[in-house]
Amino acid sequence: MQNVEVARIFEDLADLLELDGANPFRVRAYRNAARTVEALSADVAAMVTHDPAELLQLEGIGKDLSDKIVVIVQTGQLPQLEDLKAKIPPGVVQMLRIPGLGPKKVAALFKDLGLETLEALKQAAEEGRIAELKGFGKKTEQSILEGLAIVAEAGQRVFLADAKVEADAIVADLQQLSSITQATVAGSCRRRKETVGDLDVLVTSSDHNAAMDRLAANPLVVKVLARGDTKQRVRLRSGLELDLRVVPDESFGAASQYFTGSKEHNIVIRRRAQERGLKLNEYGLFRGDESVASRTEEEVYAAVGLPWIPPELRENRGEIERAEAGQLPKLIELADIRGDLHMHTTATDGMNSIREMAEAAKARGLQYIAITDHSKRVTMANGLDAERLRAHWKAIDKVRGEVSGIEILKGIECDILEDATMDLPDDVLSEADWVLAVLHYGLKQPREQIDKRLLNAIRNPHVDAIGHLTGRLVNQRPGADLTFEDVLKAAADHGTWLEINAHPSRLDLDDIHAAAAKDRGIPIVINTDAHSTAGFDVMQYGIFQARRAGLEAKDVANARPFAQFQKLLCGS
Q: Which residues bind DNA (CB under 7 A)?
A: 23, 25-26, 28-30, 33, 59-66, 96, 98-106, 131, 134-141, 143, 187, 197-198, 200, 226-231, 241, 243, 259, 263, 266-267, 270-271, 273-275, 279-282
Taking the least distance from each CB to DNA, the nearer of 33 and 409 is 33
Contacts of 262 (CB under 8 A, 6+ apart): 188, 191, 314, 315, 316
Q: State the nearest-atom distance from the C-beta of 131 to DNA, in Å.
A: 6
Q: State the nearest-atom distance from the C-beta of 78 to DNA, in Å.
A: 11
Q: State the nearest-atom distance from the C-beta of 227 to DNA, in Å.
A: 5
The interaxial angle of helices 386-402 and 354-363, nearest 10 deg, is 50
Taking the least distance from each CB to DNA, the nearer of 11 and 413 is 11
Taking the least distance from each CB to DNA, the nearer of 279 and 322 is 279
Taking the least distance from each CB to DNA, the nearer of 243 and 415 is 243
Taking the least distance from each CB to DNA, the nearer of 274 and 430 is 274
The 8 Å CB, 24+ separation contacts for 347-350 are 347/373, 347/382, 347/384, 347/388, 347/392, 347/395, 348/373, 348/374, 348/378, 348/381, 348/382, 348/383, 348/384, 349/374, 349/378, 349/380, 349/381, 349/382, 349/531, 350/530, 350/531, 350/532
Q: State the nearest-atom distance from the C-beta of 414 to DNA, in Å.
A: 44
Taking the least distance from each CB to DNA, the nearer of 36 and 545 is 36
Q: State the nearest-atom distance from the C-beta of 106 to DNA, in Å.
A: 6
Taking the least distance from each CB to DNA, the nearer of 78 and 450 is 78
Q: State the nearest-atom distance from the C-beta of 526 to DNA, in Å.
A: 29
How many CB atoms within 10 Å of residue 387? 10
Chain-centre distance for alpha carbon 512? 10
Residue pair 340/530 in contact (Cβ under 8 Å)? The answer is yes
Q: State the nearest-atom distance from the C-beta of 146 to DNA, in Å.
A: 10
| SS3 assignment, position 98 | coil
Taking the least distance from each CB to DNA, the nearer of 212 and 454 is 212
β-pair type (524-527, 497-501): parallel
| SS3 assignment, position 315 | coil
Q: State the nearest-atom distance from the C-beta of 97 to DNA, in Å.
A: 8
> 188-208 burial by CB neighbour count: b if 16+ within 10 A, else e?
bbbbbbbbbebbbbbbbbeeb
Q: State the nearest-atom distance from the C-beta of 234 to DNA, in Å.
A: 11
Amino acid letter at 150?
I
Taking the least distance from each CB to DNA, the nearer of 275 and 448 is 275
**SS3 labels along 23-86:** CHHHHHHHHHHHHHHHCCCCCHHHHHHHCHHHHHHCCCCCHHHHHHHHHHHHHCCCHHHHHHHH
204: β partners: 182, 247
Nearest to 144 by CA among 162, 167, 163, 126: 126
**What's the residue count for the chain?**
572
